[in-house]
C-alpha cells in the first residue's frame, strides 16, 4: 500500500471531521460532557467500520444498495443513541452530531485504502476526498436528526427523514461505480453543505434557551 495513501487516510478523514466537530459545537458549552463527546466520536468510527464491512460484503445486492444501506446506517446510529440515559436529553442531539462525524470520517480512509491506487492519481484521489467530505457532512446531519428524534421521543418521524436525506449519497455512489461517472462525487459536497448548514441553523439550536439561540445564530451569520 502506498504510504502516501495511508497518511492521507488520516488527514483527509478523521482530522476534517474533528475540525467540523470543534466548529459545530461552539456555543453549546455546558450542555454536554467532553468524555461523552469523545466516546460518541469513537463509537461513530466503530459503527462506521461495521457498516462499511457489511456494505462491502453485500455490495452485490445491486440497485437495492441505494435503499438498504441508508436504512442500515441510520439503524446503527439509532441503536447507539437510543439508550435509556440519553432519551429525552437535549445533549443527545450533540452526541448524535459527534457520532455522525465519527461515522463519516472512516469513509475517506476506507475509500482510499480500497481503491487499489498503485500509481498516485491526483484526480482520482481528489474526487474521493471531495465526495468523502460531503459524506462526512451528511453522516453528521443524519446523526443530528436521529439525536433529535431520541431527544423528542419521535424516532418514527425522524428516522425516515434521516434515511431519505442519505439516499442520494448511495444513489450517486452506485451510479458512479456502475457507469464510472466520477465527477458526480462533486455534487455530494454541495448537497452536504446545504443539509448540514440548514440543520446547524434550524434544528440544533432548538436545544438552546432563547437567548443563547440568538447568540448562536449571530455566530453562524458571522461565519
Domain positions in the chain: 3-213
pLDDT tens across 74-129, in order?
A: 999 999 999 999 999 999 999 999 999 999 998 777 766 655 444 446 666 677 77
Instruction: Quote the Cα angle for 134-94-26, to 5°.
Output: 85
Do 16 and 41 form a contact (C-beta atoms < 8 A)?
Answer: no
> What confidence score (pLDDT) does residue 100 get?
96
> What confidence score (pLDDT) does residue 18 get?
92
pLDDT tens across 156-176, in order?
A: 999 999 999 999 988 887 887
Residue in the structure block whose three cell numbers are 498503485: 118
Q: Determine the average pLDDT of the residues in 194-215.
A: 85
Residue in the structure block whose three cell numbers are 474521493: 128
Residue with more model confidence, 14 or 123: 14
Radius of gyration for the chain, computed over Cα atoms and rounded to the nearest angstrom:
17
Do 87 and 125 form a contact (C-beta atoms < 8 A)?
Answer: no
**Cα gap 193→200, rounded to integer Å:** 10
pTM: 0.88
Tally of CB atoms within 10 A around 27? 17
Q: Is the dihedral of CA 125, 183, 108, 179 positive or negative?
A: negative
Amino acid at each position: 500500500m502506498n504510504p502516501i495513501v495511508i497518511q492521507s487516510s488520516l488527514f483527509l478523514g478523521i482530522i476534517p471531521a474533528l475540525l467540523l466537530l470543534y466548529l459545530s459545537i461552539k456555543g453549546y458549552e455546558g450542555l454536554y460532557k467532553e468524555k461523552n463527546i469523545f466516546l460518541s466520536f469513537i463509537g461513530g468510527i466503530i459503527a462506521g467500520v461495521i457498516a462499511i464491512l457489511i456494505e462491502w460484503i453485500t455490495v452485490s445486492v445491486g440497485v437495492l444498495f441505494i435503499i438498504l444501506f441508508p436504512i442500515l446506517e441510520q439503524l446503527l446510529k439509532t441503536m447507539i443513541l437510543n439508550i435509556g440515559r440519553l432519551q429525552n436529553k437535549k445533549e443527545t442531539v450533540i452526541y448524535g452530531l459527534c457520532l455522525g462525524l465519527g461515522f463519516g470520517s472512516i469513509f475517506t480512509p476506507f475509500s482510499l485504502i480500497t481503491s487499489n491506487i498503485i500509481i498516485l492519481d491526483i484526480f482520482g484521489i481528489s474526487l474521493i476526498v471531495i465526495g468523502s467530505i460531503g459524506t462526512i457532512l451528511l453522516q453528521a446531519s443524519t446523526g443530528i436528526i436521529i439525536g433529535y428524534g431520541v431527544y423528542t421521543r419521535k424516532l418514527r418521524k425522524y428516522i425516515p427523514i434521516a434515511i431519505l436525506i442519505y439516499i442520494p449519497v448511495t444513489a450517486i455512489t452506485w451510479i458512479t461505480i456502475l457507469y464510472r461517472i466520477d465527477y458526480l462525487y462533486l455534487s455530494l459536497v454541495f448537497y452536504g453543505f446545504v443539509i448540514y448548514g440548514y440543520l446547524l441553523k434550524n434544528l440544533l439550536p432548538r436545544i438552546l434557551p432563547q437567548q443563547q439561540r440568538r447568540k448562536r445564530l449571530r455566530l453562524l451569520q458571522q461565519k
